[in-house]
Copies of this chain bind each other. A is one copy, B any other.
Amino acid sequence: VTMPDLAAQGHGDGPVATRDGLATLGPEALMLRQALDQRFLRWAAEVGADPYLYPPLMRIADLDRLDYFKNFPHLAMIGSNIASASAADLSESGTPNGVVPAEQLADAAFALPSAACYNVYLDLQGRQISQLHVVTTAATCFRREDNYDGLRRLLGFYMREIVFIGERELVLHQLRAFKEKIARYLGDIGLPAKVQAASDPFFDAGGARALMSQLFPVKEEFLVDGTLAIASVNFHRNFFGERCDLRTEDGSPAFTGCVAFGVDRWMSALWARFGTDARSLCDRVRGA
């Protein structure tokens, strides 16, 4: 298969085919994705972040501790399996209508990650943090939506995050510095964006709770073309510090914040503005 074949399918997403919120990336898209990720990794290294890769499935019990299911039960992709008693049936008959019926599923202990950074706090739980701890991680994240829209809104998408844990002022200082760094970079590569305070788009208005504003009292997004959030800067106060028992040196719950890059959306924004020539786009992303 060659990229022109995929592009000819008319998904309006440059050299990427999407269907039902799931994308297939070919060589040129992968080149650009890697150039972007390398850029974000360099920023992470500049602030001393160690790269980590966390499990691709999260425990329901862990997410529950973060009130995830109280707030976003409808968005979660759940990792279940076929109940033992039903496995034999399926083995005989295959799956009817392209689904595994709910009554053949077992109780589910796992969920697919909906954000990359939850695993950071869970992995560190019980730790005392001296001043500031910085980690970077990337994950394929999953959010069920009513509608998908090319690379702009996917069921499964690639998110790179840089995560700060520690003293309140040190976390806030890093978030402010990254806000400037991202704005400057977007100007340099010719992709102007507007910074806008936001509630997380995956917190739907109907499910709004007091807790959510506590969880994300500060979220600022970088919007391209007025609508597409390609990056965000988030301050969680000490919510994760409390829930995951992360303590600063004086024993109080640590503060946390993160910078998140929706890499698929960066690709979509770059293609829309500069065309799809992979080499020239990679030069642009690297050179700025």
Question: Which residues in A have some Cβ–Cβ distance to B below 8 Å?
Answer: 1-2, 20, 22-27, 29-30, 33, 50-57, 59-61, 64, 67, 69-71, 73-74, 76-84, 86-88, 90-92, 94-95, 98-103, 105-112, 119, 123-124, 127, 133, 135, 140, 142, 144, 155-156, 207
Contact = CB atoms under 8 A, between A and B. Distances in A.
Nearest to A74: B87
Nearest to A209: B91
6 contacts: A24-B53, A60-B99, A70-B94, A73-B87, A78-B81, A79-B79
Given A30-B51, A69-B100, A102-B105, 5 more contacts: A1-B50, A56-B142, A57-B156, A60-B95, A102-B102
A197 to B, nearest CB: 26
B86 A73 contact: yes
Contact of A102 (B76, B79, B83, B133): B83
A86 B107 CA distance: 14
Nearest to A84: B74
Nearest to A110: B77
Contacts of A52: 1, 24-27, 30
A78 B80 contact: yes
Contacts of A74: 81-82, 84, 87
Contact of A30 (B24, B53, B92): B53
Nearest to A25: B53
Contacts of A50: 1-2, 26-27
A91 B78 contact: no
Contact of A99 (B71, B92, B109, B135): B109
B26 A98 contact: no
B82 A79 contact: no
B70 A91 contact: yes
A82 B100 CA distance: 14
Contact of A64 (B23, B79, B94): B94
A71 B100 contact: no
